[in-house]
């Protein structure tokens, strides 16, 4: 999944996670002892990975794997390769996965991994060696009943194939369910590639229905045109909406009459992933995308891009968070007061982990579903989760985000209390 990254983060991202956790705990009157447990990740693993580069020299890379909670099932979460990967980020993403799986009712806990590296400066052979060393060092942590990785920033189907093969070579048995997001020929699920974007589209559809908005009369702006942004665009267009503006790391495009999304996706594939230069659209300052006049805004790139400084100038009626953590807590309050409906990340972009769950199930059964079947099941899960969150929001007179956290924290804490704390 391509995305942009913020260069400066004023506050620890994990502090944002704790902020919502503590608010949800207060609403449901959570036992303070349970809150103490949920505030800390269950296990944090850091590994130093010496890798021989193609020129014969050695470099040592730092890798992380964080399991935030596994009370509802094995850990689930992606692995990202990026120079900015750090422990705070990985802890935050692991916690988000805990709440995301709980909101969707998926029997997984939350985990996340990453390696601090610049994959753009590494050859395929170097990346393969790095991936295999990472998995080998985490053999005691990973497993289809322990912790199941998936692709994330700068990792893909090939990365998952290397991970699966390394695990199988170390255990001496074929275990396709050790990772998700694999190629279909290795036990990957049909429909997985588009799942996150399709989930965004379904969430926006439900929010529009809730507000009495006709999608066929709605305009959409999308920040980030990688995997999530592009498939969100396709999904929303198929539902009747008109995408009028998009941006990526290179620039931004707009067309008030609507962009040809399929043609734009084809163009990016032929131009190193860039939208710049696409014919039939006007280029404009990407900094203005969040403030452009539209009915639906999809931030699908940066973390912490909607802040107290710009939240008041957002004109959209619905924000569907395709990215993880695009809105800061103070901005969230401003948007709520201004009547903007924000579909939070732990609900809106949960289509990916939902179909990852389907892939894990199919691998364990040895029986694989059609893409139509996968998409139908995805829709059932997304609609049910949206309705659950909407019900909690009505009950507590709060935003969809706060309702999502209330629902998730309640589900995780209920299971924790039922299981008890092993001592």
* 361-419 pLDDT, tens digit each: 999 999 999 999 999 999 999 999 999 999 999 999 999 999 999 999 999 999 999 99
Taking each continuous run of H as one helix and of E as one strand, the counts in the chain are 13, 12
Residues 6+ apart with CB under 8 A from 189: 180, 355, 356, 358, 359, 362, 368, 369, 374
Q: Over range 310-331, report the average pLDDT.
A: 96
Q: Which helix (H) or strand (E) holds 321?
A: none
DSSP state of 306: B
The b/e string for 367-385 (b: 16+ C-beta within 10 A; e otherwise) is: ebbeeeebbebbbebbeeb
Q: What share of the chain is helix, strand, coil (3-state, %, to 5)?
A: 50, 15, 35
Strands in 225-328 per DSSP E:
242-247, 252-254, 282-284, 296-299, 318-320
Domains 41-186 and 195-348 share a fold: yes
Question: pLDDT band at residue 9, thresholds of 50, 70 and 90?
Answer: very low
Rounded Cα–Cα distance for residues 329 and 342 (Å):
12
Rounded Cα–Cα distance for residues 242 and 258 (Å):
5
Residues 6+ apart with CB under 8 A from 310: 290, 291, 331
CB-count burial class (<10 Å; 0-12, 13-18, 19+) for 319: buried
CA atoms within 13 Å, Cβ hemisphere of 249 = 13
Residue 302, pLDDT score: 77
Residue 4, pLDDT score: 39
- For the range 416-420, what are the long-range contacts, defined as Cβ-Cβ under 8 Å and sequence gap of 24 or more? 416/34, 416/37, 416/38, 416/71, 417/31, 417/34, 419/71
Residue 5 has pLDDT above 60, yes or no: no
The CATH class of the 41-186 domain is: alpha beta
Rounded Cα–Cα distance for residues 114 and 101 (Å):
20
Residue 386, pLDDT score: 98
Residue 324 has pLDDT above 50, yes or no: yes
Question: pLDDT band at residue 6, thresholds of 50, 70 and 90?
Answer: very low
- 293 noted as active-site residue: no
Residue 12, pLDDT score: 81
Token digits of residue 83: 């120079």
Residue 11, pLDDT score: 63
Q: Over range 290-319, report the average pLDDT.
A: 95
Q: What are phi and psi of 341, to 5 degrees?
A: -85, 115
Residue 269, pLDDT score: 94
* CATH 3.40.50.10420, domain 195-348, yes or no: no
The b/e string for 199-236 (b: 16+ C-beta within 10 A; e otherwise) is: bbbbbbbbbbebeebebeebbbbbbbbbbbbbbbbbbb
Residue 120, pLDDT score: 93
* 204-227 pLDDT, tens digit each: 999 999 999 999 999 999 999 999
What's the residue count for the chain?
423
Is the pTM higher than 0.85? yes
Token digits of residue 100: 């995301």
Q: Over range 153-173, report the average pLDDT.
A: 97
Give the rounded percent of residues in the chain with a pLDDT score beyond 90: 93
Token digits of residue 349: 């972009």
* 34-67 pLDDT, tens digit each: 999 999 999 999 999 999 999 999 999 999 999 9
Rounded Cα–Cα distance for residues 255 and 244 (Å):
5
* 247-300 pLDDT, tens digit each: 999 999 999 999 999 999 999 999 988 999 999 899 999 999 999 999 999 999
Rounded Cα–Cα distance for residues 149 and 113 (Å):
8
Q: Which of 100, 112, 182, 242 is catalytic?
A: 112
Residue 16, pLDDT score: 87
Rg, Å, the chain Cα set: 21
What is the residue extent of each domain of the chain?
41-186, 195-348
Question: pLDDT band at residue 303, thresholds of 50, 70 and 90?
Answer: confident
Residue 306 has pLDDT above 60, yes or no: yes
Rounded Cα–Cα distance for residues 139 and 167 (Å):
7
Average pLDDT, the chain: 95
Residue 7 has pLDDT above 60, yes or no: no
């Amino acid at each position: 999944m391509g995305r942009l990254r913020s260069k400066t983060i004023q506050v620890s991202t994990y502090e944002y996670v704790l902020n919502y956790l503590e608010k949800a705990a207060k609403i449901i009157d959570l036992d303070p002892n349970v809150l103490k447990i949920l505030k800390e990740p269950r296990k944090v693993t850091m590994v130093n990975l010496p890798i021989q580069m193609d020129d014969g020299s050695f470099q040592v890379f730092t890798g992380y794997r964080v399991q935030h909670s596994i009370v509802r099932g094995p850990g689930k979460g992606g692995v990202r390769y990026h120079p900015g990967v750090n422990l705070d980020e990985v802890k935050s993403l692991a916690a988000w996965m805990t709440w995301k799986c709980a909101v969707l009712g998926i029997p997984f806990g939350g985990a996340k991994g990453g390696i601090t590296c610049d994959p753009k400066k590494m050859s395929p052979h170097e990346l393969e060696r790095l991936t295999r060393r990472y998995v080998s060092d985490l053999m005691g942590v990973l497993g289809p009943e322990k912790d199941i990785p998936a692709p994330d920033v700068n990792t893909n189907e090939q990365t998952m194939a290397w991970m699966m093969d390394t695990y199988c070579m170390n255990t001496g048995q074929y275990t396709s369910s050790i990772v998700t997001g694999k190629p279909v020929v290795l036990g990957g699920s049909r429909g997985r590639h588009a799942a996150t974007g399709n989930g965004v589209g379904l969430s926006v559809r439900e929010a529009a229905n809730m507000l009495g908005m006709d999608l066929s009369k709605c305009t959409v702006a999308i920040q980030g045109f990688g995997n999530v942004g592009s498939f969100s665009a396709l999904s929303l267009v198929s539902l009747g909406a008109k995408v009028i503006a998009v941006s990526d790391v290179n620039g931004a495009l707009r067309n008030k009459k609507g962009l040809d999304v399929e043609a734009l996706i084809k163009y990016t594939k032929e131009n190193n992933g860039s939208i710049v230069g696409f014919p039939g659209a006007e280029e404009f300052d990407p900094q203005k995308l969040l403030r452009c006049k539209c009915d639906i805004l999809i931030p699908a790139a940066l973390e912490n891009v909607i802040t107290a400084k710009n939240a008041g100038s957002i004109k959209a009626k619905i924000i569907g968070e395709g990215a993880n953590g695009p809105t800061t807590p103070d901005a969230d309050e401003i948007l709520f007061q201004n009547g903007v409906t924000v579909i939070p990340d732990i609900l809106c972009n949960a289509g990916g982990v939902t179909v990852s769950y389907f892939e894990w199930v199919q691998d364990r059964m040895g029986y694989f579903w059609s893409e139509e079947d996968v998409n139908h099941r995805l829709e059932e899960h997304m609609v049910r989760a949206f309705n659950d969150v909407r019900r909690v929001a009505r009950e507590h007179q709060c935003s969809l985000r706060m309702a999502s956290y209330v629902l998730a924290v309640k589900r995780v804490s209920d299971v924790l209390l039922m299981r008890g704390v092993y001592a």
